[in-house]
Structure 1
Amino acid sequence: LTGAGLPALFALGLRLLNPAPLPGRPATDRPTAGPLGRTLAGLIFAVVLAAIGWGVSVIVNHR
């Protein structure tokens, strides 16, 4: 789960920060991420960083 789940969560966070263009508009005219999207992306990135930190600590403290 963590092997494929963390990159998927990271991709979801990036997607929340970069919404799709509106229909009928050029791709360069993208809407900005709203406050909910930025908050959710920040929470997702925090979870990913926490998992990375946990993994490093497990590797370092393994005897």
Structure 2
Amino acid sequence: MTTPDERARSLRRARDLLMELAYGHKRLVRQELRSEARVILRHYPQEDTVSAGDCWPRRDQP
């Protein structure tokens, strides 16, 4: 079972990866992938909004 802390950490790591793909200095990433990462980042939660308890509603909540 995934804990809230693990879920929040995964969101933060995924955001870091998207930021590196979108804006990193490595030339190994194709332009199409950079563009797609930027599109996803537009609506991705900011780091300060990702906390262990706020990632997804609890199962006992509607």
The two structures have a TM-score, normalised by structure 2, of 0.43
